[in-house]
Amino acid sequence: MIRPLRHSHLRAWCVLAPFLAVVLVLAASARRDATPVNPGVRWERLP
């Protein structure tokens, strides 16, 4: 009765796990330099 539902969880993670790992690696490889161009400027303090 619910065997297809149980197995659909496994199928979902077989797809999701490698896909999200690729997303994370791509995002990590595209990280910008976090150092501000002008370290003296705090954008959060700007009016």
Partner 1 sequence: MSVQYQAITWSRQKKVYDVLLASGAAGFLGLFVAAGAVTHPEATAETLLIRALGTCAFVMLHLILCIGPLCRLDKRFLPLLYNRRHMGVTMFLTAAAHGVFSIIQFHSSGDENPLVSLLSSNTRVNSLSAFPFQQLGLLALLILFLMAATSHDFWLHTLTPPVWKRLHMLVYAAYGLLVAHVAFGALQSAASVWPAVLTGAGLTIVAGLHLAAGIHERRRDSPLPARTHDGFVAACEFDAIPEGRATVAMIGAERVAIFKHEGKPYAISNVCAHQNGPLGEGRTIDGCVTCPWHGYQFRPDTGMSPPPFQDRVPAYRCRVDSGKVWVHPQPVRHDG
CB 37, min distance to partner 1, A: 13
Structure-derived torsion over alpha carbons of residues 32, 33, 38, 44, reported in degrees to the nearest 10: 60
Number of residues lying near partner 1 (CB under 8 A):
31
Q: Does position 46 bind partner 1 by CB under 8 A?
A: no
Q: Is 25 exposed, middle or buried (0-12, 13-18, 19+ CB in 10 A)?
A: exposed
Instruction: List contacts with partner 1 (CB under 8 A).
Output: 1-3, 5-10, 12-14, 16-17, 19-21, 23-24, 26-32, 34-35, 42, 44-45
